[in-house]
Chain A
């Protein structure tokens, strides 16, 4: 219980408050005590003087009865203890109590000591020395006693009674005692007040602290604990919804960020794990399939040699050999996929590859009542491609098209054409570095399926990460925090922090500062630092002018792809065919096209059909 932050805070703050209140109370009560005592003292002196003056004449006349009466009358007043007149010998001459007159007081105690401590005794006492507070045994009330010396006067010695000799200086004292009961009661009341106040303050503080600790600490901490448990249980999608601006809010946000990164990392791990086991599977399958393939290939090629004089057999055997060789390449590409090697490129006519792919699926086309319309441009120049991989791409697209049209059949149109495109919107930044040669490409974040360029951005006080679209002239940039359009950004390398700003060159469109990055082998890539301004310059690409592409389109009149699935179709293991497909087809196609520096995109309308367009560059980028 004491370990909880709230209780600890309450105890610390409460004890501090009590200490402060205690110190204040101590001084307060001391001051009050002193002022009350002074008041009583003043009152006692006044009284003492009054008694002395009112009895003076009676004393001179030696009218003892009257003196006793006056003293008794005064002594009966409320708030007055005793009034006594004590002579030099210590005998009580008059007393308001009445019964102790004639008795002696012990000169070593009580008021007498003030003067009689020395020999000869003091003859005069300062006013403040005449009072003292006495505690009487058997009585809880304190008393304040004031002695007032009665000095000899010429009249005293010359009076008729001749009581006092002329030589005496002091004849006796008037002793007035006043009870301090009222003072003590007031002080006790004030102390009680203070204790009650301290207790009240403690209680109020506790409640206030408990309330806010619960609100600011307990609830967010409980939520964090709950979230960590959720994460530990494997629910990486759990997010903290309460996000305040305080430290715990920041912790919550950073926690959310961490889990997001964690789930991303787990996805990637999962993905690469999947790929690794696929690689192992591929390697095993390759060995198992290669042995039977050796049988087929050796026997068929042997037969081909043996039957060279039988042309009708030759044609068929040629198909067997060619297709077995293709199987060999597929198995090899499975191994390559596991090993991620590069394609074997050579110059080939894309129309021939399309024809070969069409020939392979021609049986399926007739079986599914599909008509194949070929609109190929015979002037398409040869392209540098891996012919086997390309054939695989087209076969995959054709089979997908046949599947999309189902039993009722339809039309597939395959076309090839030459296309001239501006580098803006097509050229891709594949490598980019800062001036210190740190790579800026972030393969974990993809924009439009391509690894994005990662830079650090600052606007005034805010700092964050921006992912820049790697396609030249396309501006699908993403920032990690919201920035108003039109702000100028300071751009840095996220790794070493070196500024990417080019202070010498201003944007020709909006005159803001520009930034740049190095594209190894392809010069400088520059852009405007103002968010929303679309100025970009990549001179070495612009210099090449319009670039020639071969575009191959494969369209069908099938069921189409729902719009929400379109962005996902090139992801590995995404399949619409359920048990029929592996989900690897389009992702492998995407990988092959990407390896050829090409691009593939898709247009689809539900129940009308889907068209895939592949663009392959004719001049290889240097």
Chain B
């Protein structure tokens, strides 16, 4: 079923190329691999790929330089950035400059598969949007627009600054559309801390996969959405209002908000 899907993997470590190739092939995807970003770019010239998984820290050309060129050469191919040097800054930077997703190394089989699945769905949604240009296809759910005053981290999560000084945090509609129907949402307890660019919640879906949600902002959680525990599907139906995750007191609003993008800038979120 996945045979027409080819994934390009770029990493300077052969063992990682081998492992990713093995995993993806076992799931029926075709895989091309490159040991450096230049080779990867040459491969991009020969044919189009469904998805690219690219390491950040590489000799000569690094992952960010590759991302920039790849978005120009193949704007429809989503890029998932992976790095062992997982700092908050790299995650936020990657998502801000156009990566579809970010996955810290080391990752498990399931973590890689959930990221690949989200990436491929992300591509499908984009293609459908651009391919027809007309009304959404019947099987697509109704697109819920993100309120323009919200700000988002990539297309993963959003934050809304409330009047009382707290910030509400949630998942974007586009992110929900890239995953199967949620069965449960694993959240941190109140009083816990969330850190921008790190995992703040995990959504378990019907297909058994677990999808991490990267927090758009840092802060101390003052309230969690209890309704999500009983009705996880509201995150799908109303991601921007009743489907919120946390209310938190942000620790460094000015600095962190500046690194996020306004919600209106991408019609798909």
Contact = CB atoms under 8 A, between A and B. Distances in A.
Interface of A: 283, 286-299, 301-302, 304-306, 321, 324-325, 328, 332, 335, 339, 341-342, 344-347, 384, 620
A298 B106 CA distance: 8
B85 interface: yes
B109 interface: yes
Given A291-B105, A293-B106, A328-B106, A298 B192 contact: no
Interface string B1-29: 00000000000010110011011001000
B195 to A, nearest CB: 6
The A contact surface, by secondary structure, is: helix
B132 interface: no
Given A298-B16, A344-B188, A345-B188, A291 B23 contact: no
Given A283-B85, A302-B19, A325-B108, 8 more contacts: A286-B86, A287-B57, A290-B84, A291-B105, A292-B15, A293-B106, A296-B106, A305-B26
Chain B interface category by residue count: 20 to 34
Interface in B170-193: 188-189, 191-193
Given A290-B84, A290-B106, A301-B109, A295 B23 contact: no
B110 interface: yes
Given A293-B105, A294-B107, A298-B112, A306 B85 contact: no
A294 B109 contact: no
8 contacts: A287-B84, A291-B16, A294-B84, A298-B23, A298-B106, A298-B107, A342-B193, A345-B192
A145 to B, nearest CB: 110
A286 B112 contact: no
Contacts of A305: 26, 109
Contacts, number: 93
Given A287-B57, A291-B84, A344-B192, A321 B108 contact: yes
A335 B83 CA distance: 14
Given A287-B57, A302-B22, A345-B192, A295 B108 contact: no
A335 B86 CA distance: 9
B16 A297 contact: no
Interface of B: 13, 15-16, 19-20, 22-23, 26, 57, 83-87, 105-110, 112, 188-189, 191-193, 195
A295 B22 CA distance: 11
A166 to B, nearest CB: 133
Contacts of A346: 188-189, 192
Contact of A294 (B19, B22, B191): B19
A306 B109 CA distance: 11
Contacts of B83: 287
A298 B108 contact: yes
A622 to B, nearest CB: 9
B110 A301 contact: yes
Contacts of A292: 15
Contacts of B20: 298
A286 B106 contact: no
A344 B201 CA distance: 11
B164 to A, nearest CB: 16
Contacts of A296: 106
B19 A298 contact: yes
Nearest to B88: A339
A314 to B, nearest CB: 14
B189 A286 contact: no
Contacts of B85: 283, 286-287, 290
